[in-house]
């Protein structure tokens, strides 16, 4: 997975085509050494069906730290974050989706800024 090392604005969009697993994940780039990612906006939309739960957090290796969650997101509704996330060096932003149906199309968008911290 690429590593974020360039300072400045950061925008990324991902599309997940669900295989119907219990939990599915959308991972964004890992933040490189001496940098942090300040995420000002995350939006997630399942364009196909409703699902059980959305969790937005940060991940480092096997560890996942939940920051925000939404229970029972409806199909074709866009869910926005309620706060700014700081993703420190060595971590990446992760979206965890529970209860998607095989074939669901999930769109995720993030916007923020990469900053040098040392």
In this predicted model, what pLDDT tens digit does every residue of 92-112 receive, in sequence order?
A: 999 999 999 999 999 999 999
Per the structure, the count of domains in the chain is 1
4 domain residue, yes or no = yes
114 domain residue, yes or no = no
pLDDT of residue 56: 95
Please say if the pLDDT value at position 20 is more than 80. yes
Quote the domain boundaries for residue 49.
1-70+79-90
117 domain residue, yes or no = no
Higher pLDDT, 29 or 118: 29
pTM: 0.90
Residues whose CB falls within 8 Å of the CB of residue 16, separated by 6 or more in sequence, listed in order:
24, 26, 97, 100, 104, 105, 106, 108
42 domain residue, yes or no = yes
Looking at beta carbons, which pairs linking 7-10 to residues 24 or more positions away fall under 8 Å? 7/35, 7/114, 7/115, 7/116, 8/113, 8/114, 9/111, 9/112, 9/113, 10/37, 10/110, 10/111, 10/112, 10/113, 10/114
Alpha carbon of residue 68 to chain centroid: 11
Residues whose CB falls within 8 Å of the CB of residue 87, separated by 6 or more in sequence, listed in order:
31, 36, 37, 38, 39, 58, 93
111 domain residue, yes or no = no
100 domain residue, yes or no = no
51 domain residue, yes or no = yes
- Indicate the average pLDDT of the chain: 91
30-87 pLDDT per residue, tens: 999 999 999 999 999 999 998 999 999 999 999 999 999 999 888 888 888 888 999 9
User: Which band of pLDDT confidence, cut at 50, 70 and 90, is reported for residue 4?
Assistant: low
21 domain residue, yes or no = yes
């Amino acid at each position: 997975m690429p590593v974020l090392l360039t300072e400045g604005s950061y925008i990324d969009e991902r599309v997940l085509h669900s295989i119907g697993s219990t939990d599915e994940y959308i991972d964004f780039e890992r933040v490189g050494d001496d940098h942090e990612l300040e995420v000002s906006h995350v939006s997630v939309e399942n364009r196909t069906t409703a699902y059980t739960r959305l969790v937005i957090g940060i991940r480092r290796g096997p560890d996942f730290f939940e920051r925000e969650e939404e229970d029972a997101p409806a199909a074709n509704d866009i869910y926005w974050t309620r706060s700014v996330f700081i993703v420190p060096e060595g971590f990446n932003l992760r979206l965890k989706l529970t209860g998607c149906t095989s074939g669901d199309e999930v769109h995720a968008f993030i916007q923020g800024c990469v900053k040098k911290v040392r």
